[in-house]
Amino acid sequence: MSSFVSRGAVLASARLLNQVLALLSPLLLVRLLDISEYGRYRQFMATAMFITSLAGFALSANLNYLIARSPERQAVDITNTCLLMLAVSVASALVVVLARQWIVPPEIESSWALLAMYVFMFLNLEVLVSYWLAHRQSVQVMGYTLAITVWRIATLVVATIWLRDVELIFVTIVCAEAVKNLWIYVWLRRRGLLVFRWDSSAMREQVRLVAPLGAGSVMYKLNDFGKVVVANQLGPVPLAIYTTAAYQVPLVNIVQGALADVIFPDMVKRSTRDPALGLLLWKRAQVLIFAAICPAWVLLTYWAEPIVRLLFTDAYIAAVPYFQVFLLLMVRQCFQFSTPLRSVADNASFAHANLIALLINAGLIITLMPKFGLWGPTLGLVIGQTWTSIYLGKRVLTRYGLPLSELCQWSKLGLALAASLAAIAALHASQLYLPHTPAGMLAGLALFALVYALAARIILREEYGYVMRAILRRKAA
């Protein structure tokens, strides 16, 4: 288990650093552009990310499964995946062109061609991460993701500083994606992983596998349509507030996603022998995920206002209550029951769960947004995603024939929560007596970390051993 922790720590560190770097761009942009211009940029990116997330159709996640199961056929599977990505990218760009009057916000309607080009570029050839994960090469994933993030941020910031024109910023980020795609194409061709050879039977099998998972992915991503609704109905300034509140949402999936991606190929292999073996590996990983995410959740909730004020300036202080509600998704992401279901090729449940979540989300937006504004999309997303966790948890119980008591290691999860609450209580007590200065906050943070580390050492002894062995192995390497 410690080897999984070691590789998961590398991948999580890469994604955390990746997210930290990505956070630099809005921190700089809110200072270089006024709030309306920044809102136009967020309209472009929110629309583009919504379309690309829908069109991605979980093709890269499916590739991870295929390579883990049949590594000898990886060139064929990668080629087929690239062909499918090309097809969905062309279709997505055409959707932007043909439906621009409905999906492109009025403030950026003149940029519809750039939006279509960005969507096309963004969706193609994203196969390297799945390839490396299937081969347990977390370090390569770290280098690649960091390099791509630095490239995107550098081109964006340089364009903003030099040009100070939103339209030209859009042109710059389209060109940056084109250069990235050219590099990936050359890399794949030189290693013989992208071949001009048609394998109809492999393509049919891949389509059968990806169809339910892709449909579920579309439903899952559709649940984030609140940004598009806000962009079109409320305008750029409310969108800037909403995206600021939701900016930490990608963080909630980093630790969970990193360890889940690392263990998934091994879960697939173990599940071919005995599904219970794969589930046991997942439950152990879940305790580690919860032990890392739970203290971060309580800490961010406690310090929500100073964090928003520090990172995004006083102009975005209205985002604080929405920010705190979105933080509940951190807890929900600890219960990713889709992973054990995917390891036994049950992709349909993921689609069913997210279809219902989409309906819940849409219903709350329609009901609440006219009167309560941003609370509609905020509560719609959080409540809908909570539903998916409950539904998929029931599907795991049925698929594996388990009672509720064996679904998770509930006692250890409770102990991790108790340790987090003890740490936040110590932090709160310290803030009553320490001065309200950055030094006082740092002292309180140090006390929080110390109390949680001591509590975790005592009550999560086995998981603490996993982490320490992983650290020692990494130092020895």
Give per-10-residue mean pLDDT for the chain (477 aa): 47 54 66 76 81 73 74 85 88 89 82 91 86 77 81 86 84 91 92 83 77 68 66 69 66 55 59 70 80 87 86 80 88 83 74 84 88 87 89 89 87 88 90 82 89 79 57 50
Q: Tell me, what's the pLDDT at 4?
A: 44
Residue 225, helix vs strand vs coil: coil
Cβ atoms of residues 351 and 212 within 8 Å: yes
Q: Residue 12: inside a domain, yes or no?
A: no
**Cα–Cα distance measured from residue 467 to residue 219, given in angstroms and rounded to the nearest whole number:** 35
- What's the chain's length in residues? 477
Asked if residue 307 and residue 372 are part of one domain, the reply reads yes
Helix, strand and coil content of the chain, in percent to the nearest 5, comes to 85, 0, 15
Q: Tell me, what's the pLDDT at 276?
A: 73
Residue 141 in tokens: 């994933």
Q: What is the pTM of this model?
A: 0.62
Residues 6+ apart with CB under 8 A from 196: 79
Q: Tell me, what's the pLDDT at 2?
A: 41
Q: Tell me, what's the pLDDT at 424?
A: 92
Residue 16 in tokens: 């955390």
Asked if residue 38 and residue 70 are part of one domain, the reply reads yes
User: Over pLDDT 70: what percentage of the chain?
Assistant: 77
Asked if residue 349 and residue 264 are part of one domain, the reply reads yes
Q: Residue 16: inside a domain, yes or no?
A: no
Asked if residue 331 and residue 230 are part of one domain, the reply reads no
Q: Residue 130: inside a domain, yes or no?
A: yes
Domain boundary pick from 205, 235, 265:
235
Q: Tell me, what's the pLDDT at 251?
A: 55
Look at the block and give the residue holding tokens 């169809």. 211
Asked if residue 202 and residue 148 are part of one domain, the reply reads yes
Asked if residue 250 and residue 222 are part of one domain, the reply reads no
Chain mean position to CA 86: 23
Asked if residue 231 and residue 250 are part of one domain, the reply reads no
| DSSP conformation class of 111 | G
Domain boundary pick from 235, 263, 282:
235
Burial class of residue 462, CB neighbours in 10 A (0-12, 13-18, 19+): exposed
- In terms of residue numbers, what domain contains 167? 33-235
Asked if residue 182 and residue 85 are part of one domain, the reply reads yes
Domain boundary pick from 212, 235, 258:
235
Q: What tens digit of pLDDT does each residue of 55-91 get?
A: 766 677 677 777 777 778 888 888 888 888 898 899 9
Asked if residue 253 and residue 144 are part of one domain, the reply reads no
Q: Residue 151: inside a domain, yes or no?
A: yes
Q: Residue 98: inside a domain, yes or no?
A: yes
Asked if residue 421 and residue 318 are part of one domain, the reply reads yes
Residues 6+ apart with CB under 8 A from 92: 51, 52, 54, 55, 119, 120, 123
Q: What tens digit of pLDDT does each residue of 246-260 get?
A: 765 555 555 555 555
Q: How many domains does the chain have?
A: 2
Asked if residue 251 and residue 140 are part of one domain, the reply reads no
Q: Residue 420: inside a domain, yes or no?
A: yes
**Cα–Cα distance measured from residue 323 to residue 317, given in angstroms and rounded to the nearest whole number:** 10
Q: Tell me, what's the pLDDT at 1?
A: 46
Asked if residue 364 and residue 230 are part of one domain, the reply reads no
Q: Tell me, what's the pLDDT at 383?
A: 92
